[in-house]
Chain A
Amino acid sequence: MSDTTQLLRFITAGSVDDGKSTLIGRLLYDSKSIFEDQFSAISKTSEKRGMAAVDLSLLTDGLQAEREQGITIDVAYRYFATPKRKFIIGDTPGHEQYTRNMVTAASTANLAVILIDARRGVLTQTRRHTFIASLVGVPHIVVAVNKMDMVDYSQQRFDEIVAEYRQFAAQLNLHEVTFIPLSALVGDMVVERGEAMDWYQGPTLMDKLESVVIDQDVNTRDFRFPVQWVCRPQTGEHHDFRGFMGRIEAGQVAVGDEVTLLPAGRTTRVKDIVTYDGSLKTAAAPQSVALTLTDEIDISRGDMLVKAELMPTVAQQFTAMLCWLSETPMDKNRKYIIKHTSRVVKCLVSSLDYRVDVNTLEHHENPTVNMNDIAHVTLKTQKPLVFDSYTRNRATGSFIVIDEATNNTVAAGMIC
């Protein structure tokens, strides 16, 4: 592992039938990330179930109920590394509650692998997975055309699927799409190239995961610093120290920069960028730091420091796409709680505009909003929020909705 190893978070979207678990198993197995005791445990289980070969999909089933019933519940995170990068896979089940789980896993992902069965081509679920990936703004998409071994490794079949996918994806806001023909079962183009697809010159899936450029996945232009915690030691040498602690969510800042406090609107300058390892001259997302300022102004958790030339919006009303996560449907007459950056406020649904069918992308007016539904709403908050549109900045355009009675997280929101 070198000193510059980066971390890539990705998800895989597809069902068991598409070979999703087999693909993950193949990635782990061929990159030597499966341990002997794990392998011996799943070998035993495969044998017990009367399978001829070791079922690599068993690696991802963590809970007793899952192993007993052969199903996957919820999102699991798996970790592996190659000499070039460290990886976190957000693994989601492909059946019930799919939208909810995929939105959850996709929310932190740099990249989504969307699996297509080469025999079946672009299906309804492919459209659904792609729409969710675009809604959640996953920066990089890999369309993995799997089971190429079942279509005689046909270039023509691969080209047909690519064309069909491109046509449908044109109506969505996708940043970067890469198509890879592969066979998770045999291993072609996953880690090893294999010998069956000489006609394909692009990267293997592992090449892509190891080389995709992720430095620009965070917004590097607009400085955004939500204040999380105010540090006032009030002791000896630190008697007058007032450090505003938080994580830089976007952009960069330097000592001496003019910064504006929102929502108050006051302006001051950065005196020092304090860290445990000493003061810095500049800092950038995603560093966690403490800022001290040249003027004594009243700042508390929930406030945001920004630079005047690239201002966010400060408002009490905005439109957003909501993904409803709760079994209890949305109730327009209730007040909910929003957590956005480090700010927590009450909100009302002032209008419920339409629901998007995740399969057809059609809009339905006057909907009820149930679990797994995606809805366009207008929200009104008790106090102003400081935000950007989600497409401009994932960190300051996202929020969660909490039910005050149960304290459950009931929706994920993306500001339009």
Chain B
Amino acid sequence: MSNPTFTHLDVLESESIHIMREVAAECKNPALLFSGGKDSIVMLRLAEKAFRPCKFPFPLVHIDTEHNFPEVIKARDKLAADLGERLIVRSLEGSIAKGTIIIKDPDLPRNPYQSVTLLETIAEFGFDACMGGARRDEEKARAKERIFSFRDEFGQWDPKNQRPELWDIYNTRVHNDENMRVFPISNWTEMDIWEYIDRENLYIPSIYYAHEREVIRRGDNVIPVSHLVQPRPGEKIEMVSVRFRTVGDMTCTAPVESTASNALEIIAETAITRITERGATRMDDQTSEASMELRKKEGYF
């Protein structure tokens, strides 16, 4: 028998399934971080591939900034319900009410505070491993991240002192109060995600596809108008055909101008784009060269 040829998506998919099964088998109390964004929707399909016909051996967990796009929250709830899996939602508002997050302005971006609620949720449920849909191609600090990323009791990432990761033999061991962040789709690129969404015909929130939206232009960014973002004096509201490449905090996630109405058209646009995914869309990553690295050191995933 000759060996069949497998495509890059086959190989990446099998690698991710293998990682998820290692987490299920070796970690005592894992969770899968699920936001309703495209990468976490891919993670959900991979979990189905890894564990069906069994139930997932972990709950889905969302750390809600309450700055999310309503379409994304709708997708989150629909997908969790369709799968019949348990969804735990913990909100930044909960931490604000407790006084563990103090914010100056409720309308400013909330990504920096997500780590606080995430660490509180890890402590509340005693999770020893949280799987997330981060990818190494997203950001330069993430390019140095392990698949099994060790975090101390403060949730800190120490980039200079990471465990070496050889072959695909993963060291999952932690002491009490320490935990792992696990990134099963580390080796996927933005393009791979879109090709997989197309191949698997995955349901994703409508705002990933081109739609008419009210926006304002601020510097090089196109910013969606919402109850959190209103035009400043002198700024003009325009109606533009846009899509989102990432969906995060509404106050700092910018769409790109596009007419792509399905995954195939997005693949075609992605193939010729000249700007990175986060570079085009995440204003919070543009503040300094090390924004992501600093947040990860504080416990961000």
Interface of A with B (CB < 8 Å)?
Answer: 1, 3-7, 35-38, 41, 61-65, 67, 73-79, 81, 85-86, 88, 100-101, 103-104, 107-108, 215-216, 218, 220, 228-229, 231-233, 238, 241, 243, 245-247, 252, 274-277, 282, 284-288, 301, 325, 337, 339-342, 344, 394-395, 398-400, 402, 407-409, 412
Contact = CB atoms under 8 A, between A and B. Distances in A.
A104 B164 contact: yes
8 contacts: A88-B187, A107-B166, A228-B18, A229-B24, A243-B53, A286-B14, A325-B164, A408-B163
Contact of A79 (B175, B189, B290): B189
A104 B144 contact: no
B7 interface: yes
Given A215-B5, A252-B3, A402-B171, A409 B279 contact: no
B167 to A, nearest CB: 5
B159 A74 contact: yes
A197 to B, nearest CB: 31
A215 B7 CA distance: 11
Interface stretch (B67-75, B116-124, B270-278): B270-278
B3 A220 contact: yes
Nearest to A325: B164
A276 B173 CA distance: 29
A251 B271 CA distance: 35
Nearest to A232: B54
B59 to A, nearest CB: 17
A4 B163 CA distance: 34
B276 A86 contact: no
A337 B172 CA distance: 12
Given A400-B169, A407-B171, A276 B3 contact: no
Given A6-B7, A412-B164, A301 B289 contact: no
B48 interface: yes
Given A276-B48, A407-B175, A394 B160 contact: no
B1 A276 contact: no
Contacts of B159: 63, 73-74
Interface string B139-181: 0111110000000000000011011111111110111000000
Interface in B1-35: 1-8, 10-15, 17-18, 21-22, 24-26
Contacts of B273: 35
Contact of A73 (B51, B136, B160, B166): B160
Contact of A62 (B143, B166, B171): B143
Contacts, number: 184
Contacts of B52: 276
Contacts of B294: 64
A407 B174 CA distance: 7
Contacts of B15: 286
Closest 8 CB pairs of A and B: A62-B140, A37-B279, A7-B8, A288-B17, A407-B173, A220-B3, A276-B49, A64-B290
A409 B137 contact: no
B144 A76 contact: yes
Contacts of B167: 107-108, 394-395, 398, 400
Interface in B85-139: 136-137
Given A79-B137, A104-B164, 19 more contacts: A1-B267, A37-B279, A62-B143, A62-B293, A74-B144, A74-B160, A76-B143, A78-B143, A79-B187, A104-B165, A108-B167, A232-B54, A238-B53, A284-B3, A284-B4, A394-B167, A399-B169, A408-B171, A412-B166
B207 interface: no
A37 B171 contact: no
A278 to B, nearest CB: 11
A288 B7 contact: no
B275 A36 contact: yes
Interface core residue of A100, A107, A228, A285 (most chain B CB under 10 Å)? A228
Nearest to A35: B276
B274 A35 contact: yes
Contacts of B293: 62-64
Contacts of A394: 167
B230 to A, nearest CB: 28
Contacts of B228: none
B50 interface: yes
A35 B275 contact: yes
Given A36-B275, A62-B141, A233-B55, A1 B3 contact: no
B195 interface: yes
A326 B292 CA distance: 28
B5 A398 contact: no
B202 interface: no
A270 to B, nearest CB: 15
Given A37-B275, A76-B143, A288 B49 contact: yes
Interface core residue of B7, B163, B164, B280 (most chain A CB under 10 Å)? B164
A102 to B, nearest CB: 11
Given A86-B8, A220-B3, A247 B276 contact: no
Given A64-B293, A76-B143, A286-B14, A231 B51 contact: yes
